[in-house]
Amino acid sequence: MKLKELINNREEKFFVLMGFTNSELLDLPNKLLDLPISNGVNKYIYNPNETFTSDLFTQFFNIDQKSWLTYEEFFLLRGFIESAIKKEDIIFIYNNKYLGLYPFNYSFDGIENFYENLYSSHNSDFKANDIEEKVTELYTNIKKINDEYYIAYNTQLFEDYSIINLYTNEKELESLNEIDNDKYDYSFDYNDNPESIINLINFLNKNDYKTIVLTLPSEIKQYFSILANIYNYHKFIYYIPKVKQKIIPRKNQYLEILKKYWGYESFRDLDIYEDIHTRKISRISQAQIIDEIVEQMKIANNNETPKDIFITSSTGAGKSIMFQLPSLYMKHNDPNNKKLTIVISPLIGLMNDQVENLNKINVKSAKTINSGISPTEKATIAKDIKDGKIDILYVSIETLINRGDIQTLIGEREIGLFVVDEAHTVTTWGRTFRVDYWFMGSYINKLRKEYNFPIVTFTATAIIGGPEDMYTEIKRTLNLVSPIRYIGSIKKENIFLNINPINDQIKKEYGNDAKQIKDKLLISRIEKNIENKKKTLVYFPTVVSINQFKNTLESYKPKMYEKVAIYHGQLSTDNKTINFRNFKSGEQPVILATKAFGMGIDISDIEEVYHYAISGNVLDYVQEIGRVARNKERGMACLDYIPNKDFNDFKKLRALSSIKKGQLLSVMDKIKSMYKETGNKRHLTINIESFNYIFNNDFEDTDDIENKVKLALLTIETDFKQKMNYPPFVTRPDSLNSQDFILATEANKNYFENSKYKSYFRLLEEIENAHYKYIYIFDTKKYWKEHYQTISFPQFKYKVGQSSDEIKRDPVLSKINFSLSYNVSFSGFSSEEKLQNELNNIIGKVEDTLREFASKQIYFSEGDLAQKLVNLQLSRKRESYRLSSLIINTLIQINSILGLRDIEVATNETYKISNNYEDLLSKLKETLSLLINDTGKCIETNKVRYYIFKNSNNDKIDYINILLGFAEAFGLIDFEIKGGATPSINIRMNSISQLEKALSNPSKYQNHLLEDQFKSFIRSIEMFKYLFSLPRIGKTSRERIINYTKQFWSIVEDYFFGTIPSKVESEVNNKIYKH
């Protein structure tokens, strides 16, 4: 339908047009304002004081017919429009030929300057002026593609209005299972990248009668069919690939390499789905997948665009051979081939094992680079890469995201293959494990701008389709190009399930205490399995639960305890290695572990996996039970569970560790305050500890603050990007601080300035109010480089932070008192005394809001507390939710530091406080008094810099972080932390208006990622309930287990292909509605 026809057919009076070029609008009648399209709003953009003339307003009121205006005109007139016109009389029309990015209509000039300054500049000191701030509110992004400018609209400006698309008709398209490369002209892949749409439209506009292919599944299938209808002189095709056995011409060459190095006579056959719709299984040789990888590497060598490859294959299926052998083949086939294979792996131990295993088979061309590698080792590896001695490089995610590190390492060598092992860590659902993986896609994209290579991803299991589609998420995040898919069989029919609810009869035998029942059942099982020499892996939800059971076992069965190993993330690397080896060798045939014992673990003779309690989703559970029966005909997965209690514990665990909406709002508020404090500086570097006060730090929640801060920032960033095609800021991890603040006495000053080590020190300023008189800057990185080259910089910083024996013996470091700097700016007053008065007043009102909850001993939610804050006039409604979240987190953190139980977290994210809550809040008053009266500081007008002595275990710093965060949240101060052992975060600001809009109306702010994660969590519980309640049919225990196992794997297979049982989805929707 043409635009003019669409307008005439609508009942609305005013039409705001978006995504149309000058030429498309030039001849369209009934423009509302007598302004030219080109440069028509120039003076209103560049002159903040310019107002619309009375003539324009007269035109506005004299219109008696349907009229249109541009988005830019609406932006400038919106205050008047919103007050004078009913919303139902206005409608926005998208030119949905485009998606996410739209052609700029040149309604004002100077777009190239805004693009350079706001969206492509790397000047870290650039500060946006008022005009530039206005443009960032108008457009959330400006892109330059093929010398033309494209923009993304700020959808927040019109989210309350009706929106329609120009094009709605779709074309029915042909679907093919096979298509040769010479049968199409353009293979299209979106991957959440609007630039790919622009490139496709440019291709369509410049050519006639071409064939365009879209590989399914794709999130833009509907858009593709609309585009096919617009450009009906081109041929558009859906490609739905099937996996079939292929003739492998190079198979003998691969076999020679396999025999020479691994000693195997043949390749393993894998169960691969031929078609995910029919679920038909084909036996596909490893050699076919190897050949697929080699073929794409060869395509890249010919400077053509290779396809990527997505593989799901369980641990133990020989996946390492599938990416190691192609690298060896390319080297053997062409000795002049100098391209590297880079493998991203989540575990240092796993990387080291794979390199050691290659060394054992006489492959000496593999090395690993990670945060534990010393500069000396790194330099040696870099030289070996340059000399062509290394062809396979295992890299940790930290090394990848360290700017320039990969390019520096590989020098002039090119990348031939990029492997992502355990690729599920990239997805939304794996992001709580290791947030740095969320950054991976952007860094791979940077590498791909310089190198041409295929990406191969491996993961044991992945959900394909449905509400928890991991495949599409991985594909989008890593920007995989038309990936070839090999999806391994989900059913593990040699793993039998023995899942038993703990009923009244068991309770009679073991007592009513839930923990006591579980402990007794597990001790009995361990005793039996040790007696039967059955290697057993026991999963626990938390480190706390492992330690509690370990203590029970040691007390009641000390001899049995000696046969049990422990494995979790808080153990030292040496302890983990020893315990792992003892379990693998059978010296300790039982291991108690958290999820840390998972990815990449390949012990072939585990016969039983037992879950003490459920702690993850169905995907986690299937992966964890998949550790069993690698070389056995069958294995057992067992669970004894208390139906309500176990799921309530699961909910409580999530309530403690999950990010909350109020915390996201507090993070946004912190970024906004720092942005304003720096004078609208576009590049911010923020110490992670500056966010410490926002998050729970309960003793049961072991997630570190760095992980939580990154997770929160990326959750905000990604959600805005999905909603508006461009986020308000872009987050990137920074390196550790290379310099530190040092507290110094007069004696220290003499030493620092007169000893042979004086080049490491620089006097910063004098301070008052403390035993120390001076602050020095210590060049930590320089000292490390010249004295500690045998360890990495992160290891050195850790040793310094922990004051290890080696540091205490150091002639310089032993004399240094490291410090954190707190830069505090007062808001609306100028003295510490007034800050104390204001804080005491606020704390008194907070105590009033909590009194009823404490005295009645009732549970309350963040919303309940928010309403109380409003009722007592302590907060405006728009700030109440954020402040409510902060108050609760403050109580939880102080409660945890003191080791008390004065606040209880319930399973439904409600809270109960004791009558001692005032003692918790009084800690804030006490801390402020200590900060003012007993801390070194430097006072300026309306500002104070406090310097806090930093040691390895300092509750004082925790209290100060909580205090300053509390004071900042209530608008008393702004603060920034500098120094310390935690890394910083780089934030590149794009548009502050998006954050301000969310903060001005927090009740309306919805984060879709949080909502999806909550829904996924509820779905996990309901899926477990559904699976665990399946009927046990059969006369004998054996029959019941066999029949139950068949049902289990059948339903799990459906789930992994996106089909959720209707009963489960009904329960999910019911609980979401009630929530």
Element (H, E) at 510: helix 504-510
Per DSSP, which regions of 624-694 are E strands?
Answer: 635-641, 683-687
Closest CA to 428 of 391, 385, 399, 468: 468
What is the pairing mode between strands 148-153 and 67-70? Answer: unpaired
Question: What confidence score (pLDDT) does residue 503 get?
Answer: 82
Closest CA to 1015 of 1004, 1003, 1027, 1023: 1023
Q: Is-cis flag, bond preceding 306, omega within 30? A: no
**CA-to-CA dists, residue 871 to 15, 449, 763, angstroms:** 42, 56, 51
Element (H, E) at 310: strand 309-312
Q: Give the torsion through C-alpha atoms of 234, 235, 236, 239, to 10 deg.
A: -150
Distance, CA of 58 to CA of 527 (rounded, Å): 90
Check if the beta carbon of residue 108 is closer than 8 Å to that of residue 45. Answer: yes
> DSSP state, 613?
S
Distance, CA of 825 to CA of 819 (rounded, Å): 19
610: which 2 tokens?
Answer: 């037992």
Distance, CA of 886 to CA of 889 (rounded, Å): 5
- Report pTM: 0.84
Distance, CA of 270 to CA of 487 (rounded, Å): 10
Estimate to the nearest angstrom the gap between the alpha carbon of 481 and the chain centroid: 22
- Residue count of the chain, please give it: 1075
pLDDT along the chain (1075 residues), means of 10: 89 94 91 90 84 63 82 89 85 96 95 92 83 92 94 90 94 88 86 90 96 86 94 94 91 97 95 89 96 96 94 80 96 87 85 90 92 81 91 87 70 92 71 72 86 94 90 88 91 92 81 88 96 96 92 94 92 85 95 83 88 89 87 86 83 77 94 91 89 71 72 92 86 82 93 93 93 94 91 83 85 92 89 93 95 94 93 90 92 90 84 93 95 93 92 80 94 90 85 91 90 91 95 94 96 95 94 77
DSSP labels for 1047-1060? HHHHHHHHHHTT--
Distance, CA of 304 to CA of 287 (rounded, Å): 23
Per DSSP, which regions of 625-682 are E strands?
Answer: 635-641
Residue 429 has φ and ψ, to the nearest 5°, of -75, -20
Residues whose CB falls within 8 Å of the CB of residue 1011, separated by 6 or more in sequence, listed in order = none
**CA-to-CA dists, residue 177 to 234, 307, 481, angstroms:** 20, 17, 18
Element (H, E) at 985: strand 984-989
> DSSP state, 14?
E
Distance, CA of 426 to CA of 471 (rounded, Å): 10
**Site of tokens 């999530």:** 654
Distance, CA of 753 to CA of 759 (rounded, Å): 8
Question: What confidence score (pLDDT) does residue 430 get?
Answer: 44
235: which 2 tokens?
Answer: 């041929």
Distance, CA of 387 to CA of 384 (rounded, Å): 5
Element (H, E) at 17: strand 14-18
Question: What confidence score (pLDDT) does residue 596 get?
Answer: 79
What radius of gyration, in Å, describes the C-alpha atoms of the chain?
A: 31
901: which 2 tokens?
Answer: 């139980």
Say which amino acid occupies 751: Y
248: which 2 tokens?
Answer: 């492998």
Residue environment code for 524-544, b if the CB has 16+ CB neighbours within 10 A, otherwise e: ebbeebbeeebbbbbbbbbbe
